[in-house]
Amino acid sequence: MKPHHGLILAWALSVGATSTGARAQDADSGDLRCFIVALTTAASDDASRRAAGTMMTVYYMGRLDGRTPDLDLKNHLVTEIRKMTSGQLQVDAARCGAEMSARAKAMETLAGVLASPGGTQPGN
């Protein structure tokens, strides 16, 4: 391999690692904002909103833990909360709600597979 090929390869690998790290950080930031929306919703006086917020909390905590198990959640939450405005909270609530609705539809589809006649059943 020519010397400059090694430099090009090293640069390409570093760009890929930085790009992947940046995407994970962006995803963490988005999921942290959804986690904040979920915590806010879970604190509602309305029982149905509280239940929905609790489900969202578990979902987004799982996403964060799955992607970044060693994430310093407390410090990252504080950082995100300080950056968020009430307008951003509204925008994130709509985005996160749409994500949760899409996941709920996917779960309904999967449940339909299990419930359908001749569908796949555990132990069969």
Residue 60 has pLDDT above 90, yes or no: yes
Banded pLDDT at 123 (limits 50, 70, 90): low
- The answer on pLDDT for 92 being more than 70 is yes
pLDDT at 119: 61
Torsions phi, psi for 121 (to 5 deg): -120, 145
How confident is the prediction for the chain on average, in pLDDT?
A: 82
Q: What is the mean pLDDT of residues 90-96?
A: 96
Give every CB contact of residue 100 below 8 A, 6+ residues apart in sequence: 52, 55, 56, 59
pTM above 0.85, yes or no: no
Q: Give the integer Cα–Cα distance in Å for 73 and 79.
A: 10
pLDDT over 90 (residue 44) = yes
Instruction: Give the mean model confidence (pLDDT) for residues 11-37.
Output: 67
User: Please, where are the H alpha helices in the chain?
Assistant: 3-42, 47-67, 73-83, 86-115
In this prediction, residues 73-92 reach a mean pLDDT of: 93
Confidence check: pLDDT of 89 > 60: yes
Q: CB atoms < 10 A from the CB of 28, how many?
A: 19
